[in-house]
């Protein structure tokens, strides 16, 4: 088992920005909010170190 010293701060920033994007899409273009979901979930999972 290897230990990783990789910082997850940048992944958290990307996840938060993606969440803000989701909210903005829901407010202004609700039919397109799903476009931001893959980036949000990808960066959230990487920030939690599940991947």
pLDDT at 26: 96
Residues across the chain: 51
pLDDT, greater one: 36 or 51: 36
In the three-class reduction of DSSP (H, G, I as helix; E, B as strand; rest coil), residue 6 is classed as: coil
pLDDT at 5: 66
pLDDT at 49: 93
Identify the residue whose tokens are 């088992």: 1
Number of DSSP helices (H) and strands (E) in the chain, helices first = 2, 0
Q: Where are the domains of the chain?
A: 9-47
User: Which tens digits make up the pLDDT trace of 19-42?
Assistant: 999 999 999 999 999 999 999 999
Contact 40, 15 (CB under 8 A): yes
pLDDT at 51: 84
pLDDT at 6: 75
Q: Buried b / exposed e across 9-44, counting CB within 10 Å, b at 16+?
A: eebeebbeebeebbeebeeeeeeebeebeebbeebb
């Amino acid at each position: 088992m290897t230990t990783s010293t990789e910082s997850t701060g940048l992944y958290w920033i990307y996840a938060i920005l993606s969440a803000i994007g989701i909210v903005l899409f829901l407010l202004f273009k609700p039919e397109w909010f799903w476009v931001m979901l893959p980036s949000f979930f990808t960066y959230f999972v990487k920030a939690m170190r599940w991947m």
